Structures are given as structure tokens and as C-alpha cells.
Chain A
Amino acid sequence: MCGIVGLYLKNKALESQLGALFEPMLIAMTDRGPDSAGFAIYGDEVADGSIKLTLRHADENYDWAALADSAKAELNTAVEWFKNSKVAVFKIQSSAAIAEAFIAKAAPEVLILSAGQSIEILKEVGLPVNIAETFNLKGMKGSHIIGHTRMATESAVTMEGSHPFSTGMDLCLVHNGSLSNHNRLRENLKREGIVFETENDSEVAAGYLTWRLQQGDTLNEALTNSLKDLDGFFTFTIGTRDGFAVLRDPIACKPAVMAETDDYVAMASEYQALTTLPGIENARIWEPEPATIYVWERSSH
């Protein structure tokens, strides 16, 4: 069992409250996933030609300033950064490939949690309430956010095994369910050049989407193909630069509920997670159909 929550703001005036609106949603799903939690927040975009990386080091006192200085010197470019607990967000004026290659070489012990122009992924082991507190979730701003509370079934309780999983530039995935063909699929994807950090089944789903997108699929095509190639139970929520998508497997054992008002679209594993949203009493509320892709995106890009 796990919990999934997502909130996409249609009303830009609410963007300064995104974290505050989302925090109780994440915490409400503690019963479904008390062992780890995480979220991917979108906003604070860097300009074209720049890249934003979310980096993590196990040591909270890691010298990020030194790494930033070294990036400036080595790449001969502007680097802005800020620290949040064990995570740092680096905004680098370069391509993703160059920036990621630099990190891999200069600081191989630093984990890249996400890369893109908008996305930041923050996740840890522990109760959702503690993770929200650690990262000061309620103070965060942005356009949309998806989150996950984990109750591990298929692999160990570690930060690496917690969600969201990055699936490419500005893309990530959270998963409720369990995949039964993840071992074979992981081996197939490794041959295609996809790199895995854990034995986690959800990471395989993320890797699968990364691979399909690399093959030229649109997000819709990649998700349609996942219905064919992924065996098991899943409700996925996929964060994109402009919004999010929801997909349930054809059997649809894993729950999902959606709510929409003029101000937002929200999804959650259970209605309990939606009760604190403004105007929820009059929202349109429905259960997403099995094997059906739902996408909400703003069309600014």
C-alpha cells in the first residue's frame, strides 16, 4: 500500500500557497505510507539554455558552496544554488548533459534527484509530517506538485527507494501498487542503457517511461505502451513540466479519486486527502476509469 497525491493549480493567484495547500494532502496519506515520503514541485523555472538540478548528499553539512564554485570555474558559467536540508538546488547556465557530467565527475557521491527547467524532487525516509517539516513544504511556491507516501512491499526502505522517481527532463513518476515483471523488464532496460539505482519495482516503471520517451514516444504514447508492457497493479501519477497525468492499470485495484474546481485539479489515493482543499464541497469529484490516461497541462510551452 502507498499513497499518492497531486495538485495542479489552474488559478495562478494560488501559486504562492501551493505548498501550504499540498502539505495536509500529503500528511493525510500517512496511513497508506508511513515509511518514506517525497514530492516533486514545479515552478521557479530557469530560462532556456539553463538547467536546474536537485542534488543530494547524505551529509547535511556537505560543502555545496565548494561544489558550486568548482562548477563555475570548470564550466565557466553562472551557477546559482540554495540548500534545503540534505538537498541542494543548482541552477546552471549550461546544458543538462554538461551539468550532469560535471557532477558525476566532480562529486560522484552526490545523487542527482532531478533535472529540468522547473522540477525539484525532495524525498526522505520517515513520516510524511517530518519530511514536510524538514523541507518546509508549506512555504513552497509553484504551479503544480505531486507526492507520495510509501509503505514498502517490493524493496528496502531507503531514500533511493522512495518516490518520486525521475523519468527524464522535468518528468517524474509516483506509483501505488506492485509490478510483477519488474526483474525481467529491468534487465531488458539495462541493455537499452537505462541506469537503475535500486531493486525497486517503481523505479523500473520510471525507467520504462524514460526509455519510451527516448525512443520518441509522446507521454501519451509512452503511457499507452506501459499498459501493454507493465504487468501488475498500479496507479501512476506522472509529473510533467506543464502539469500532470494519471493512469490506472486495467484491473484498477489501486484506488484513485480526482477533484476539479475552477481553481485546481487534484488527485489522491483517497478522498480523505482532498478534504482540506478550498471549495472541495462543490468540486466535481470522480474516480478515474481503468486503463484511461488523464492529462492536465497548461499550454504555455
Chain B
Amino acid sequence: MKTINLSEQTVRDLNQALHDQAIECTEREWEVLEPKGQHNIACGLDQNISVDIKGPTGYYCAGMNKKAHITIHGNAGQGVAENMMSGSVRVKGDASQAAGATAHGGLLVIEGNAAARCGISMKGVDIVVKGNVGHMSCFMGQAGSLVVCGDAGDALGDSLYETHIYVKGEVKSLGADCIAKEMREEHIEELTELLNRAGVDEDPTAFKRYGSARQLYNFKVDNTSAY
């Protein structure tokens, strides 16, 4: 295992060393000490390696991740795992706003709460939050799944495309064009698989499903007179 202490080396040093693994993988296990809320830790990785960050991180940690498995042993700042392509990111604490924003693939697990705009404009990532999510979560979500084991804030799934949303607790309010939907057998299966992958012990039948009413997809001909 290779250890990098961010009190002794810069985030740029760390990220360069991690990027070099994409060319030639010399070390599968990495440990990052004393992150102290610095921004852009372990961004842009492109190799099947594991990175354990021992403490709270700042903005955009694990952003643009591909293939790597990154664990944050603490809270994460804004935009954790933003635009992730594949691999996995696990936050042991809470995540600030815009967790998993625009992410195309991979798995993001937040063991605490996620703040506002979790999964904003998500494009295929699977996000599992053990706690609550803040307002405007899944705003313009296009694909992938968001699982919330706690409660969801205002305007969940506003302007939603095809992201699947599962919430166990209360939803404060639904956003425009987001509706509660029937939980069919295939959804129980999908949710069971998501919870298993995330290592979260919850009863899938206790969740409700939310999705797009698909009323904002097309221009409504009734509105022609507005022009």
C-alpha cells in the first residue's frame, strides 16, 4: 500500500501519482492522510485502484472518476464524484450539495446525509444515500437511480427525465413533472440489487418509487398561441 500525506505533499502531487497509474499500474492500494478539506482530491482517476482518504475532503473529491474505488472516511464537500464515469465512491460521513452531479456511471454511496441538489443532472450513475437528501435532488436527472433511505427535501426530481428514484422516508414535495409511481416486481429487483451493491441493509418493499410524468418532454401544441 502506498501512503501520501497531504500535510507533506500537495494535492497536485497526489493526483499526478494517481494519474500515472493509468499508464502503468504499480500500486493497487492507496491511502491519503490529512486531507483537511482540501479541494480536488483524487480527481480524474482512470485505473482500477482503491484510494482511502482518511478525513474530510473539500470540493469535487473523486470528480470524473473512472474505474477507481474511492472511500472518504469523513464528510465530503460540494460536488463529490461529480461527472463520475465508472468505479465507485463511498462517503462514510455526510456529503455537501451537488453530490454525483452529472455523473454518467459507477456507484456513489453516501452513508450519512446528502445536502441540496444530490444527483443534479445525473446521467447514469447509481446513488445510494443512507440518510436524507436536500432540496432539488435529482433535478433534471436523465438516467441512473437515486435511492434515499431517509427523507427527501423540497422539489424532488424537478424536471426529471428517466432517472429512477426510490425513497423510504418522507418526501417534502415533488418537483415539476415528478410523480409517485407503482412499485412493480422489476423495480423491487432493481432496488434489491442497488441496496446489495451499496451494502445497505434495508427492506426494498418499504420504499416508494418516483419518476417522470413525461409531460415536459415535448412542446405542447396548445401553447402555440403564445408565439
Contacts and interface: CB of A to CB of B under 8 A. Distances in A.
A286 B36 CA distance: 16
A274 B55 CA distance: 13
B39 to A, nearest CB: 8
Given A255-B78, A290-B135, A272 B38 contact: yes
A62 interface: no
B37 A270 contact: yes
Contacts of A255: 77-78, 96-97
B116 interface: yes
Interface in A165-198: none
Interface residues of B, number: 17
Query: How many A residues are at the interface, by size bracket?
Result: 10 to 19
Contact of A285 (B56, B58, B78, B135): B56
Interface string A229-263: 00000000000000000000000100101000000
Contacts of B134: 252, 289-290
B126 interface: no
A225 interface: no
A296 interface: no
Contact of A290 (B77, B94, B116): B116
Given A252-B116, A285-B56, A290-B116, A272 B94 contact: no
Contacts of B78: 255
A257 B97 CA distance: 11
Contact of B36 (A257, A272, A287, A289): A272
A271 B116 contact: no
B105 to A, nearest CB: 27
A254 to B, nearest CB: 10
Interface of A: 252, 255, 257, 270-272, 274-275, 285-287, 289-290
28 contacts: A252-B97, A252-B115, A252-B134, A255-B77, A255-B78, A255-B96, A255-B97, A270-B37, A270-B58, A270-B59, A271-B37, A271-B56, A271-B75, A271-B77, A272-B36, A272-B37, A272-B58, A274-B37, A275-B36, A285-B56, A285-B93, A285-B94, A286-B94, A287-B97, A287-B115, A289-B134, A290-B116, A290-B134
Which 8 A-B residue pairs are closest in the complex by CB-CB distance? Answer: A271-B37, A272-B37, A275-B36, A287-B115, A271-B56, A252-B116, A287-B96, A275-B37
